[in-house]
Structure 1
Amino acid sequence: MSMTALFTGRSPSGGEHVTDVYHYAARKGAIEAVEVAAADLGIDVHLVSEAVRHLMESRLLRADDGTGGRFVPVDPDLAVASLVSSVEREIYRRRELIDQIRERVGVFGARTGGDPPPSTVEYLVGAMEVRGFLKTAGDACRDELLVLQGGVGEAGDLSQMFLVLVARGVTVRVICQHRSRADVATRLAMKRLTDAGVEVYTVSHVPRSAIVFDRSLVVLFGDGEGGEGGDVSLARVRNQGIAQFFLDMFNHLWETATPLEGVEFGYATVADDLQQSIATLMAKGYTDEVVARKLGMSVRSCRRHIATLMRDLDATSRFQAGVEAARKFLKTG
């Protein structure tokens, strides 16, 4: 099947049998021989051969290694990924080239007294598109990568990019939430990063997941509400003022954060900071569920910390504990 037929939706010659042949292969687990499939389906051998050829070109069938006539079905999602991956990479390379041309030409406008070049914001939706963009941006990164990580699962998703960049000599600094210290899978993933040279610090709360590439390109990850059906989404921002804001915020958080060192699990090394954050939210009257969500931990863990805090302060209510703790940390801070 030609690429034109694939992308325009036109059916190839004999294409009315392509779906039947694919479903037959999926049902049987493989097409052992074209002649056998033709007999089972009641279709002419020539038409089955044509359908197999089209499915091979569409990456929906693959020839089984070591045999000449056996074909194995491929998951449609994998077939799509195989077909579009090279196209996606080329699209992002051209987008980067367009941005570079705009920036270079925009300099002349600024020097002649014209308006500064407009900032660019681009929204990407869909896991494949987001992955393709991050891969391209990572390949182009040369000096420094700064990461604000608000979720526990995200380190594993991006860890390979971090490792590749560090191996190339790029500085990678990550700020994530204290809860990463208690999550076993995340803690092990973080240890792999720190062993490779990634600097990882933790704080009580990260307001939004974001990445800054080379102090100029800002990537803001969606909160799960931007894409249709909860699709992965991000906003790509090229604006020096916004980039500087994120650099300042990152450096401020970095100065108050705690290094993630060693292999020990738990909150022992950040207990005071965590209790102070819990106390502040309790003093505002937030429920256990809201406090847990803001600090990125389970409600059960949050309630355990609140119980410890109330016991240490000899408080009889959550509100009293919050106020007393806030006073305590204000005096000691």
Structure 2
Amino acid sequence: MTMTALFPGRTPAGGDHVTDVYRYASRKGAIESVEAAAEDLGLAVREVSAAVEHLVESRLLRVDDSAGLRFVPVDPELAAASLVSSVEREIYHRRELIDQIRERIGTFQPDYIAAEASTGPRAVDYLVGSMEVRGFLKTASDACRDEVLVLQASGGVTGDLSETFLALLARGVVVRIICQHRNRGDVSTRMRMKRLTDAGAVVYTLSHIPRSAVVFDRSLVVMFGSGGEEANVARVRDHGIAQFFLDLFNHLWEMATPLEGIEFGYADVADDLQQSIAALMAKGYTDEVVARKLGMSVRSCRRHIATLMRDLDATSRFQAGVAAARSFLRNAG
């Protein structure tokens, strides 16, 4: 076994020669000198030196003289026990540190609870910074029991929270997601979505979603910030606002299209996508603005616009937008 196998993710400087050098030491009973071992093995001295250094670090060889030139092999079981014990000690110290942090921070909890009891819980508060946001989302997910509703805007939350959603699904929590049509054409996002749907999530797509949000158990709403370098969310515990988001989600759900199968592309949502593009074109928006609002690349957006103008035999973008909007309205009527 090479040291790469013993320590995944680490490549010893001696490469595959680590195994050869350890076998040599075991067969000879010791490495009396690196130069002699290199000659016997037909290797360069630097290769044997690197392998010996790694074996000493891994407790499979130990120095057996004051000059540090003689090395004897160590039973691999003893070497493993020695390494594991040091790792276990580190884990123990980290757990001890975690307990101390929780104990110290926990002393402030009664004050926070008392303040909320006297003034009532704040309807909306804000969390800033990735550590604070991640900690809150984990707490909210752990407390969730029945249902999670997700609105994912462009550059939204599903990629960051997919593992959280998978854990919720494994516990039997219902997860429903509405994301943008662009996810149908993005390979990495589509693969993440497939993992979620395979685990039981239900995913629909829509042409445009203005803001990312998650609703836990129909009562706790988390709205994600739309910009800025730092992660930021608004935590909403107001019943009226929560009901508004539930109504909004259900309204969008009725308009959205199921994401089914594993095929890529926009075939299932072409009409909805063209209608959205036409409406934005009719307002005089540039290609770049239309693409940004629909969460797609400018190149893809321009392909859709070219198709729309060709189908409508339009000579200008504005003319195409107005004609398409009228056509869609007639068809809807």
- One-letter amino acid of the structure 2 residue matched with residue 330 of structure 1: L
Contact 1:152 1:186 in 2 (8 A): no
CA distance in 1, matches of 2:102, 2:298: 41
Residues 285-316 of structure 1: per-residue CA shift (max 9 Å, x gap): 00000000000000000000000000000000
Given candidates 160, 164, 173, the residue that maps to 2:163 is 160
Shift of 1:85: 10
**TM-score (normalised: structure 2):** 0.67
Q: For 2:250 and 2:200, locate their aligned partners in 1 and report how far apart those are by CA, in whole Å.
A: 19
Rounded Cα–Cα distance in structure 1 between residues aligned with 2:168 and 2:315:
51
Give, as a single letter, the amino acid of the residue that structure 2 aligns with 1:260.
L
1:140 maps to a residue whose letter is A
Q: Deviations over 1:232-260 (max 9, x none)?
A: 11111110010000000000000010000
* 1:89 and 1:132 in contact (8 A); partners too: no
Match of 1:198 among 183, 197, 201: 201
**1:287 is matched by which residue type in structure 2?**
T
Alpha-carbon shift at residue 224 of structure 1 (Å): 1.8
**Partner of residue 137, structure 1:** 140
Partners of 1:89 and 1:174 in 2: CA distance: 37
Aligned-partner residue type, residue 219 of structure 1: V
Aligned to 2:247: 248
1:123 aligns with 2:122: no
* Structure 2 residue matching 1:244: 3-state secondary structure: helix
SS at match of 1:224: coil
Contact 1:200–1:260 (CA under 8 A) maintained in structure 2? yes
TM-score (norm 1): 0.67
From 199, 218, 222, give the equivalent of 1:219. 222
* Structure 2 counterpart of 1:314: 313
1:144-155 equivalent positions in 2, closer than 5 A: 144-152=147-155, 154-155=157-158
CA distance in 2, matches of 1:159, 1:89: 31
RMSD over aligned Cα atoms:
3.6
Matches within 5 A, 1:166-315: 166-225=169-228, 230-315=229-314
SS of corresponding position for 1:169? coil
Question: For each residue in 1:191-216, what CA deviation from the matched residue of structure 2 results, as whole angstroms up to 9, or x when unmatched?
Answer: 11111110100000011000011111
CA deviations on 1:166-219 (whole Å, 9 max, x unpaired) are: 111111100000000000000011011111110100000011000011111110
Distance 1:88 1:263, change over 3 A: farther
- Report the CA distance between 1:120 and its aligned residue: 2.6
AA matched with 1:168: R
After TM superposition, the structure 1 = structure 2 runs for residues 14-53 of structure 1, keeping only pairs within 5 Å, are none
Code of the residue aligned with 2:161 in structure 1: it is L
Query: Which amino acid in structure 1 is aligned with residue 266 of structure 2?
Result: Y
Q: How far apart in 1 are the matches of 2:233 and 2:128?
A: 7
Alpha-carbon distance change, 153 to 146 in structure 1, aligned in 2, over 3 angstroms: closer
Q: Flag structure 1 segments of 5+ consecutive residues without an equivalent.
A: 1-31, 33-63, 72-79, 107-115
Structure showing greater Rg: 2
> Does the 8 A contact of 2:156 with 2:212 survive in 1?
no
Which 5+ residue runs of structure 2 have no aligned equivalent?
A: 1-56, 58-79, 88-93
How many angstroms apart in 2 are the aligned matches of 1:238 and 1:264? 39
Distance 1:169 1:310, change over 3 A: same
